[in-house]
Chains A and B, each alone.
Chain A
Amino acid sequence: MKFTWFNLMPWPYLPDDFREKHRSVWVDIDQRLFDPVKSNEVYNTYMDLLEYADTLGFDGIGVNEHHQNGYGIMPSPNIIAAGLARRTKDAAIVVLGNSIALYNPPVRVAEEFAMLDCISGGRLVAGFPVGTSMDTNYCYGQIPALTREKYAEAHELIKRAWTERDPFAFNGRYNKLRHVNIWPRPIQQPMPPVHIPGGGSVETYDFCIDNTYSYSYLSFSGYLRAKALMQGYWNRVEERGAPDKSPYRAGFAQTICVAETDEEAERLYSEHVSYFYNRCLHVYPGFADAPGYRTIKTIQTGALSQYAPPRGGYTQLTWKDLTEQGHVIAGSPETVRQRMEELIKGLHVGNIFCLMHVGDMPADKCMYSTKLFAEKVMPHLRNMFPEYADDDRFWCHPIAKRAVPGSLPAAPTTAPGAPVRNPVPAE
C-alpha cells in the first residue's frame, strides 16, 4: 500500500455566514476574504504539516492545483513541492498534479517536473489532471469542448520531451515548437510515474489503461459513494484486456480523522469537518460543469459531477451522517482501521490519498490525528495486497545516494584551493 498525506490547503478564515452571504468558494470568491498577511502563517503551517508527515513514515506527501479557490490556496503546486523537496528526506513528492492544458507551452511542465525530480533525488510522482471545469474553463478561459484535445496534445508533447534524447520539432494544433529539448530532464527513466485524477470519464479510464498510469478518484464524498465509479473503472480494465488488475492502477482520496476513541474524534474534529463540507464545498453549481467540458458519452453514462452535493445539500449532514455514509472515516484507530480495510478492499485501490488536514483544523489536532494514523492504523494496512507487492510501476524510484540539503562545508576564510601562505610555524 502507498499512503500519501495530502493537503488541499483550505483557507481557514471563511466567515460563519459564508454560505448565506457568498455564492461560491470558487471562481468568483470574494477577494476581501483573503488576508495576505495571515496567509504567511497559513502557508508555512501547511508546509510544516506536510514535512511532519514525512517524518512519520507516510509513503508520499501530496499537493494539487486549484485556482481562485477558497479551499485550495495552491495555484502553483510546484512552488510548494520545491520547498518540500528540500526539507523532506524519504517521502515521494506527489504532485497531483499540473493541469497540463493550462501551461503555454506545456514543456514548462516537463521542465518543472524534471527540476523537482532532480532536486528531490527521483522522488517525484507526477499527476496530469484535465483540471476541473472551474479551474480550466471558468478561471483559465479554456474552451470547454477543446480542452480534452488540448490536454491530449500537451500530454504527448510532455511525454516526448521527457523520453526523446535529441531535439525535435513539434507541430501541434495548439503548440508549434521548432526546438523541443528540455534541460534538465528527470532522474527517473524513462519518465516519472504518472497518476491521473479523474471524475468518471470513460475516456480517462482508457487513457490510464493505455499509458499504464494510475487512475485516481479524488472525491470528497467518500468510499461508499465511489463504489459504482471505481467498479466502472475496473470493468473497463478488464474489457480493455489490461494484463493485470493491480490495485496500484488506482488511487482514492479519503478524509480521515483519528483519535483515541470514536467519541473523542467527534469532539475534536466535527467542527472542522463541518467547516470543510459546509463552507469549503459551497460552489456555485453554474461553475461545476461548463457545457462541452464533459463528453456527451460521459454524461449519458450517468456519471454525476463530483461537485454535485447530495440531495438537500451538505448542511443537513451531521457528523453521524458524514461518518456513517463514509464521506469521512473517523474514530478510534480500530474503527478507522476497519473502515479503511473496507475501503481498500471494496474499491480495490493501492494508493490512498489521506486527507488528514480538514477545513480549518489547527496544527495540533492535525498532528495528533496524523500521528495516530501513522502509528496505530497504517502499519496494519500495509500488507493488503501481498500478490502485488512487487508492482512498482506506479511509484517513484529515488536514487540511493541523495544529496543532503544544507550540507555546505564551513565557510572558507581564505581563497579555496589556493596554497596556504605564511603558514604559522610550528612551535
Chain B
Amino acid sequence: MQSKTVQTKHAAIRYLEGGEGEPLVFLHGAGGMTPDDPILKELSSRFHVYAPFLPGFGETEECETLRDMLDFALHGWDVVEALGIKNPILVGHSMGGMIAAEMAALAPNDVSRLALICPAGLWLDDHPIVDMFSLLPFEMPKYLFHDAEAGAAMMTSGLKMDDPKFLQDYLIRNARQMGMAGKLLFPIPERGLAERLYRVKAKTVVVWGESDKLIPPVYGPAFQAAIAGAKLVKVPEAGHMVILEKPSAVREAVEALA
C-alpha cells in the first residue's frame, strides 16, 4: 500500500492506496489502521483500495470542525470527491461501518455496493454495548478478539500491556483517536442511523464475527432487517476484529456482492 495525501475543505487527509480493479473505499474503526493491516492486503488483491485515515487517526491531523454525524458522513463524501472516484464500493468496519452506512443513506445513488463489518450505529436496549471509552488497555482484548491472548499481542506489537512505552504511546494515540471517535460513539454509539437506513439502495452485506463481545452479533440481524435485501455473513472463530482474525472471510463476503 502506498501512503498519500488528499486535501478536503476541512483537512489534509492521509490515505493508503493499493491494488487494481473497481474503486473500493475502506473506512477504519475507532481503533485506527496501519499500512500492514491484513484486511488491506486482502481487499487490494481484488480491488483498487483507498483507505483514508479519519482526522485524529494515523498521520491525519485532528479536525475541530467535524463535530457530528452529518459532518462525518459529508466528510466521507468530500474524501471520495477529492480522490476523484465515482460509485465506489464502501467497506466500513465498526465506527467506519457506521459512517459508511450514513454515507449510503445520504447519497443512495452514489454507492455501488456496501459492506458493513461489525458496524456501530444501532442500539438495542436489551443488548447494551459495553462502554468502550472507560475500558483500560488490558481489558480491551477480551472484547475485541476471539483469541484474546493472540489479540493482545497484535495490539501491542509484542510489548507487554503494562510496558510504560506502550502505555505512553497508547495514551496519546487513544486520546487523539477515541477523542475524535467519541463525537460519534460517546456515550452511546447511536446517532439516529436506524431512522435513515431505509434510504440505502446499494447491494449490501453485513459481516459479523461470531465471538464479537464489543458489539454483540445480535446487531447483525438488526442491520439486515433495516436494509432492504441485505445479506448477513457470520464468521466463526472471529471477534470484533474479524478484519484481523479472518480477513479472507471478509474479502470473500465483499467479493460475493458482485
Contact = CB atoms under 8 A, between A and B. Distances in A.
Most buried by A among B67, B179, B181: B179
Interface in B104-149: 131, 133-136, 139
Interface string A280-292: 0000111100111
B171 interface: yes
Contacts of B181: 291
B180 A287 contact: no
Interface in A355-376: none
A287 B172 contact: no
B94 interface: no
Interface in B127-179: 131, 133-136, 139, 171-172, 174-179
A290 B133 contact: yes
B42 interface: no
A291 to B, nearest CB: 3
A286 B178 contact: no
B136 A299 contact: no
Contact of B179 (A138, A141, A285, A292): A292
B134 A144 contact: no
A296 interface: yes
B187 A294 contact: no
Contacts of A180: none
Contact of A291 (B136, B179, B187, B188): B179
B223 to A, nearest CB: 24
A407 interface: no
Interface residues of B, number: 24
Interface residues of A, number: 22
A173 B64 CA distance: 13
A146 interface: yes
A307 B90 CA distance: 42
23 contacts: A137-B133, A137-B187, A138-B134, A141-B188, A143-B183, A144-B179, A144-B182, A144-B186, A145-B179, A145-B182, A285-B136, A286-B134, A286-B136, A286-B139, A290-B133, A290-B134, A291-B175, A291-B182, A292-B182, A293-B179, A294-B175, A296-B62, A296-B176
Interface of A: 27, 137-138, 141, 143-146, 149, 173, 284-287, 290-294, 296, 299-300
